[in-house]
Amino acid sequence: DAKTTQPNSMESNEEEPVHLPCNHSTISGTDYIHWYRQLPSQGPEYVIHGLTSNVNNRMASLAIAEDRKSSTLILHRATLRDAAVYYCIPGPNTGFQKLVFGTGTRLLVSP
């Protein structure tokens, strides 16, 4: 899997948008970009994934750079429940694939 670089932590206020960046400059052409988050004392939770085009779902949006060497997870209106560690995980989406979690970004949300 490609190496990733994410900020150790970020802070946001409730109701504000949050942009969580991830650099994955060694990503291969067929690798997807998956994002997971882990809330305190819970297992990881799938958030979103994409290949080339920007993606939206009920949880978040994923903006993928044109060269695919970076991506940004966008939470449109942060809530206290969004406080978690966010991980970006590039890699193939077929064949056996264990998830390799890096250190991620710890998001702190203030009321």
Give the footprint of another protein on this chain (CB under 8 A): 32, 34, 42-46, 49, 89, 91-103
Task: Between 34 and 68, name the residue whose CB sits nearer to another protein.
Answer: 34
Task: Between 54 and 57, name the residue whose CB sits nearer to another protein.
Answer: 57
Task: Between 8 and 111, name the residue whose CB sits nearer to another protein.
Answer: 8
Q: What angle do CA 50, 53, 54 make, to 5 degrees?
A: 75
CB of 44 to another protein, least distance (A): 5
- Torsion over CA of 62, 65, 68 and 73, rounded to 10 degrees? -30
C-alpha 95/C-alpha 83 separation (Å) is: 32
CB of 87 to another protein, least distance (A): 9
CB of 98 to another protein, least distance (A): 4
Beta-bridge mates of residue 88: 35
Q: Please check whether residue 45 is in contact with residue 36, taking contact to mean a CB–CB distance below 8 angstroms.
A: yes
